[in-house]
Amino acid sequence: MYRLTASLLIVCLLVLSGCTGSKSASSKAYIKEHAAQNDPKENNAYTPPSSVDKTQFTAYTRDLQMKMQAFAIDYKKVQIYLDQKLVLVKNIDSTKAEVVAGVVRFINSSVTDEITINAYTPGVIDAIDPEGIWIKFENGNRLRFVPQSGPDAEDVFVIAGNKWEEGTCEVEYANKVYRASCYKCPSIASVRPVIKLADVDNKNKKTKVLQGVRIN
């Protein structure tokens, strides 16, 4: 009886050890599933904080850019924002779900890489070229904006995209192609880069306080 009990104990230990080793070896092949989301826009609803006074912001335009250059204002030291919430979405292969900047979401049984840039998220102009500007909201990745074109074009910058469809377009971000949309506005072409005028005014102001001249 003792030998039988010992033999059964050894067999059980071997079985448990084999199961544990198998689970450990395959753990890297799984992606932790997020909660099911039927409507990503509702799940990413965002309201700018009440402290944001929109009247303090002005659109970043070509004219404003030229004025900053004339006063030798370093554009990299001026905070820039977007006046609308921006959502970038990309469907990805569930067997190759590698996400750089976004969040892996499982929506209607499909895997989606989604990146959200909330309204008035602080960013910086990473570079300026003859055709447009590059804005980044995180290190290493950036979005391109170009002057608005067309017969009724205004002096504003709009997102540079391809394959426009129903107010959305494709943009390149983090070396991938995403479909970009505006959360509440009808078209992503309505999203404007804006800055605080006070930021430019402060950098354009040189103050010298005179100490006076005393008679010795």
Give the Cα separation of 33 and 53 in Å (integer). 38
Q: Look at strands 157-159 and 132-138 and give their pairing.
A: unpaired
Q: Where are the alpha helices (DSSP H) in 27-144?
A: 40-43, 62-70
Could you give the strand order of the β-sheet that contains 124-129, starting from the edge strand earlier in sequence? Answer: 124-129, 132-138, 141-147, 157-159
DSSP reduced 3-state for 188: helix
DSSP H helices, the chain, are 2-26, 40-43, 62-70, 197-204
For the stretch 28-44, pLDDT in tens is 222 333 333 334 444 44
Can you tell me the mean pLDDT for 21-32?
33
Reported as a single tens digit per residue, the pLDDT across 147-179 is 988 777 788 999 999 999 999 999 999 999 999
Measure the CA–CA gap between 113 and 121, rounded to whole angstroms.
Answer: 20
pTM of the model: 0.64
Per-residue confidence band for 94, with pLDDT thresholds at 50, 70 and 90: low
The 8-class DSSP code of residue 33 comes to P
pLDDT higher at 167 or 93: 167
Q: What are 116's strand-pairing partners?
A: 87
b (16+ CB within 10 A) / e for 84-118: bbbbbbbebeeeeeebeebebbbbeeebbbbbbbb
List, in order, residues 6 or more apart from 175 with CB less than 8 Å away: 100
Distance CA 81, CA 52 (A): 12
Give the rounded distance of the alpha carbon of 83 from its chain centre: 14
